[in-house]
Chain A
Amino acid sequence: MAGPTVSEPVIRLSDLTRVYQMGDTEVRALDGVSLDVSPGEFLAVMGPSGSGKSTFMNIVGCLDRPTSGTYVLEGMDVSTLDRNERAGIRNDKIGFVFQSFNLLARTSALENVELPLLYSRKHSLSDAEQLVKARGCLARVGLAERWDHTPAQLSGGQQQRVAVARALVNDPSIMLADEPTGNLDSKTSDEIMGIFQSLNEEGKTVVLITHEHDIAEYARRVVAFRDGRIVSDELMKNRRAAKGAK
């Protein structure tokens, strides 16, 4: 079950459960999940809808808290933090990429990328430093020239690149991508997955939530969920390499 390296895991989940109260019935969205993710891994989380993978993502992304069990992120137990503390962790350690891009409308690509820096308490960068950093992240996803475009002026693939740049800007411990190619055609999907692969090769830990097999094939390791439990956890054989990957 261990990842490819022997260092301290970035994510360590121990016997995690999440129970929702739906009227009189209890729904166990996560039912005793234990998982270690090592630095530099590229993990795909798969499963049909209702399998618990969204709940898994919400907890790993510190948007939600487990009902029981512990979640240790980079050596810190984050399972009992309150709202504001979790907001700080999200800003500092997690880079979200969503299916529907979720960029702020009528806001330039650059400003969208700068947004996490605004809420950051980790390092107080000067305006100029923030700008350099944001531009660097945009360049990293190949959109340096389009920094002043608003989402409406960008294609879906370009919007998702901006979202990836935004996720990168605070140097997160993990990139958490929730169906990042769900709204994209296959060619653009390949480009986006290529960006994730090259980021991973540079050492970023990537957790990808998807229900598509061919998207999961870009990852190194695949964990499958069913009914709130992990039913399989294996390394990807015949890993797919994105055509555009650098």
Chain B
Amino acid sequence: MTKTTSILKVAFRAMGRNKMRSLLTALGIIIGVACVVATIGIGEGARVQAESQLQSLGTNFLMIFPGTTTSSGARSGWGSNSKLSEQDVDAIRQEVSSVSYVSASIRSVAQVVYGNQNWSTSIQGGEVDWPAIRSWNVAEGQFFTDADNRAAAKVCVLGRTVATTLFGDEDPIGKMIRIKNIPFRVVGVLEAKGGSMMGQDQDDTVIAPYQTVRKKIMGTTSVGMIMTAVSSPEQVTQAQEEISALLRQRHKLNKAAGQEDDFMIRSQTEMLQQAEQQARTMAVLLWSIAGVSLLVGGIGIMNIMLVSVTERTREIGVRMAIGAKGADIRAQFLVEAVVLAVAGGILGIGLGVGIQQAVGKFAGWPVLVSTSSVSLAFLFSALIGVTFGFYPALKASQLDPIEALRYE
């Protein structure tokens, strides 16, 4: 029996002697580590999904939102007073050569009725370029035409969820549905797209010609936003600058007078960065919670190790009498603390992965068991064992063998 195996054996025996106590002691570490593993896994999964979704939109995707307007010093909220017009859309289409697709877009929520089924969903108005920009094609039937848009024809394309909800197994193509009591003819059904990064069902939507939605459903004159696709990812910055210059000129914004943009151009990269920033903030928060929990767990370990040193004073005395040096005793108790912490860590990792899978299954989120978070959690628990086990171990190693042998 080598010294190492013996030390480990004694450590496990000490843990086994008081199973309940060991478990309760390790609980702090278990919870802390489970917290780290579960939250990081869920967060990581959400981040990866958000990225892949943004990526799937295409890196050459640009959105132009109406900006805030300032009147007498009071800034109204985002998009509160849209200065984007249909003429702006046409101007971009004609004058910005780096942009290959442009679509005005508008969005509302309305009740959709077919027969005795009804469903509240988002109604999006778009133009013919919409499928190309969103890289989202029609699975059945066809998309509406430019003529439909110009004529504000009452036709629509259904998202997969809406189609299934309203029609079940029935073929929706050519059927009439009512949106805000206005009859629309279904001309197509979109491909299933799945959940978005915010967890919304993207398929829960109805697409209709922009003009139809604007006039018939919303009764407004302003454009909700403009979606564009740039010819190539390299031209994104250039397109952004060109669009900005064009809109400033069209909106008669004077740089010298310090007039700010009354619109916002968002590129995919920026949205990606925003998503990452959010993920980072979340991670910091989660780590601090986990940190507190691990600290508490560490204190628990220190407490129980001090009790253990007192309980085993006599054993320490015997070991010293037969030749254990201070370092031997120190190693013994340090290893016990580490074994306790690491055992807690392993249980915590198991629990964390379990929670993660359960949450993933329950909420339908993708989860990612990242090796880095697992190994980090493992390393952390070992580190806690060393840190909080050190003082009790030191105390044990400094006992006077004569006193320790006499201890009852």
Contact = CB atoms under 8 A, between A and B. Distances in A.
Interface stretch (B24-32, B151-159, B317-325): B317-325
Given A63-B401, A111-B1, A130-B1, A96 B321 contact: yes
A98 B405 contact: yes
Contacts of A63: 321, 401-402, 405
A61 interface: yes
Bin chain B's interface residue count.
20 to 34
Among A63, A84, A98, A170, max chain B CB count under 10 A is at A63
A114 B1 contact: yes
Interface of A: 58, 61, 63-64, 83-84, 87-88, 90-92, 96, 98, 102-107, 111, 114-116, 118-120, 127, 130-131, 166, 170
A170 B322 CA distance: 10
A40 B327 CA distance: 34
B325 A115 contact: no
A119 B1 contact: no
Contacts, number: 68
A92 B323 contact: yes
A88 B1 contact: no
Interface string B169-193: 0000000000000000000000000
B277 interface: no
B41 to A, nearest CB: 40
Given A83-B326, A115-B319, A130-B1, 5 more contacts: A63-B401, A90-B321, A91-B322, A96-B321, A98-B405
A219 B18 CA distance: 44
A96 B322 contact: yes
A131 B323 CA distance: 19
B315 interface: yes
A87 B401 CA distance: 10
A57 to B, nearest CB: 10
Contacts of A115: 319, 322
A84 B324 CA distance: 8
B328 interface: yes
Interface of B is mostly: helix
B313 to A, nearest CB: 12
B1 A127 contact: yes
Contacts of B405: 63, 98, 102
B323 A120 contact: yes
Q: Is chain A's interface secondary structure helix, strand, loop, or mixed overall?
A: helix
Residue among B6, B325, B405 with the highest chain A CB neighbour number at 10 A: B325
B314 interface: yes
A104 B322 contact: no
Contacts of B318: 98, 102-104
What are the 7 closest A-B residue pairs judged by CB atoms, nearest first?
A: A91-B323, A119-B323, A87-B325, A102-B318, A116-B322, A84-B325, A90-B323
Contacts of A130: 1
A118 B321 contact: no
B404 to A, nearest CB: 10
Contacts of A114: 1
Of residues B314, B317, B322, which shows the largest number of chain A Cβ atoms within 10 Å of its Cβ? B322
11 contacts: A61-B321, A83-B325, A84-B326, A98-B318, A98-B321, A102-B317, A106-B13, A115-B319, A119-B328, A127-B2, A170-B323
B330 to A, nearest CB: 12
A63 B323 CA distance: 10
A119 B17 contact: no
B8 to A, nearest CB: 12
Contacts of A131: 1
B323 to A, nearest CB: 2
A84 to B, nearest CB: 5
Contacts of B328: 119
B325 A118 contact: no
B320 to A, nearest CB: 7
B3 interface: yes
Given A106-B13, A114-B1, A88 B322 contact: no
B17 A106 contact: yes
Contact of B315 (A90, A98, A104, A170): A104
Nearest to A178: B405
Nearest to B6: A118
A223 B116 CA distance: 112
Nearest to B9: A111
Given A87-B324, A91-B322, A118 B1 contact: yes
A88 B319 contact: no
A115 B401 CA distance: 16
A81 B219 CA distance: 98
B133 to A, nearest CB: 73
B293 to A, nearest CB: 33
A197 B59 CA distance: 93
A127 B324 CA distance: 19
A64 B325 contact: no
A87 B320 contact: yes
Contacts of B327: 84
B324 to A, nearest CB: 5
Nearest to A58: B402
Contacts of B315: 104-105
A176 to B, nearest CB: 10
A31 B6 CA distance: 42
A112 B44 CA distance: 51
A98 B404 CA distance: 13
Contacts of B402: 58, 63-64
Nearest to A85: B325
Contacts of B326: 83-84, 87
A87 B314 CA distance: 16
Contacts of A106: 13, 17
